[in-house]
Amino acid sequence: MCVRRCVITVGDLGEFGVVNRITAQLPQGDAVMLGPGDDAAVIGAPDGRVAVSTDLLIEGRHFRRDWSRGYDVGRKAAAQNLADVAAMGARPTALVVGLGLPADLPVSWLDELTAGFADECGVVGASVAGGDVTRCDLVVLGVTALGDLGGRAPVLRSGARPGHVVAVAGRLGHAAAGWALLEAGVSVDTPGLRAAVAGHRRPCPPYASGAEAAELGASAMLDVSDGLLQDLGHVARASGVRIELDPAAFTVFTTAEPVAAAAKELGADPLEWVLSGGEDHALAAVFPAEVSLPESWQVVGRVAEGSDVVVRGREIGHRGWDHFR
């Protein structure tokens, strides 16, 4: 079999002792044909196409070091990028990481960050192929994920059609509930509250469900990073349709122990977190109505003629995260 290759520029890794420290601790997956040590990495691309996604995480906006350990930040940074690749129906293969680090950052924090990247990549058999580092006043991470489509067509946002059903795989509301608890400064002293905070610090995307949805014939898909309402709005606009959600279908999410416990503690509406909270990195997909969905997918609504996303019988004030709102 001829294995095609993708050359990725990842900076001059040999100049930076800190990067050598990081890359020495990171295992290399089977897709990485040439890893750290040269001016570029070489990634195998058997499909001939490469799914690519990138994200920035900035201290104080996307994470706080007084709320999250380096390990949690590494897991979170890797997860949100790997989930984007999975949402296209691809298998994540590699990450490239750019780091901005304060001069006084403890080495132990950096080691934890590295371990977090390694462990999250290990969940899907991917690896960190290289990266670059510079001095910065805050911790800044620029992460690019690569994935292999395995011969399948990518699942876009533009394929939803009237009569299709909308389904979700993974968790909703955990990250938003955890953030609300941390922001309120409440004592997190029960298993449910601790699990909610853990959901904010370390999402658990349903990676395998991406390829599963593609094989089932999903007509549209994305990962839920900015809130289900906001993200499904991208599908509605790209597909030129209206998405109608059934609030009763979200009971499985609103009654999950972390979400329910946090809502009780703060006197909040758990449905608001489930519909508008981001960073759980669940997968939301649209399927033809005749597709028999496995238990990993929860049907939450349907596609109709029209535009926008609506929740039947409910007014939702906050629709999700917008970086510039």
Residues annotated in the binding site for Mg(2+), as ranges?
Answer: 39, 53-55, 84, 132, 223, 226
Work out the burial of residue 259: count CB atoms within 10 Å of its CB; fewer than 13 is exposed, 13-18 middle, 19 or more buried.
Answer: buried
Residues annotated in the binding site for ATP, as ranges?
Answer: 131-132, 157, 225
For the chain, what is the domain count?
2
Q: Is residue 156 part of a domain?
A: no
Of 95, 122, 148, the domain-final residue: 148
Q: Is residue 318 part of a domain?
A: no
Per the confidence metrics, is the pTM higher than 0.75? yes
Give residue 4's Cα distance to chain centre.
Answer: 27
| Domain CATH for 92 | 3.30.1330.10
- Both 244 and 306 in a single domain? yes
Task: Read off the pLDDT of residues 100-127 as tens digits, 9 standing for 90 and up.
Answer: 999 999 999 999 999 999 999 999 999 9
Which secondary-structure segment (H or E) carries 244? strand 242-245
| Domain CATH for 230 | 3.90.650.10
Q: Is residue 323 part of a domain?
A: no
Of 90, 121, 148, the domain-final residue: 148
Instruction: State the Cα–Cα distance between residues 289 and 36, nearest whole angstrom.
Output: 46
Instruction: State the Cα–Cα distance between residues 234 and 259, nearest whole angstrom.
Output: 25
What pLDDT score was predicted for residue 315? 56
Q: Is residue 8 part of a domain?
A: no
Give residue 153's Cα distance to chain centre.
Answer: 21
Contact residues for 272 (Cβ-Cβ < 8 A; gap 6+): 316, 317, 318
- Both 58 and 178 in a single domain? no
Q: Is residue 159 part of a domain?
A: no
Choice among 23-37, 147-161, 166-180 with the minimum mean pLDDT: 23-37
- Both 130 and 200 in a single domain? no
Residues annotated in the binding site, as ranges?
Answer: 39, 53-55, 62, 84, 131-132, 157, 223, 225-226, 279, 321
Instruction: State the Cα–Cα distance between residues 67 and 198, nearest whole angstrom.
Output: 10
Whether 4 has a pLDDT exceeding 80, the answer reads no
Q: Is residue 68 part of a domain?
A: yes
- Both 174 and 296 in a single domain? yes
Which secondary-structure segment (H or E) carries 214? helix 208-216
Residues annotated in the binding site for substrate, as ranges?
Answer: 62, 279, 321
- Both 182 and 255 in a single domain? yes
Q: What is the mean pLDDT of residues 64-83?
A: 96
What pLDDT score was predicted for residue 37? 76
Question: Which pair of structure tokens corresponds to residue 13?
Answer: 């890794």
For 287, the domain range is 165-311
Distance between start and end Cα atoms, the chain? 50
Q: Is residue 325 part of a domain?
A: no
DSSP string for residues in 55-118: EEEEBTTTB-TTTS-HHHHHHHHHHHHHHHHHTTTPEEEEEEEEEEE-TT--HHHHHHHHHHHH
Task: Read off the pLDDT of residues 170-215 as tens digits, 9 standing for 90 and up.
Answer: 999 999 999 999 999 999 999 999 999 999 999 999 999 999 999 9
Of 88, 114, 148, the domain-final residue: 148
Q: Is 35 helix (H, G, I), strand (E, B) or coil?
A: coil
- Both 185 and 291 in a single domain? yes
Contact residues for 251 (Cβ-Cβ < 8 A; gap 6+): none
Q: Is residue 11 part of a domain?
A: no
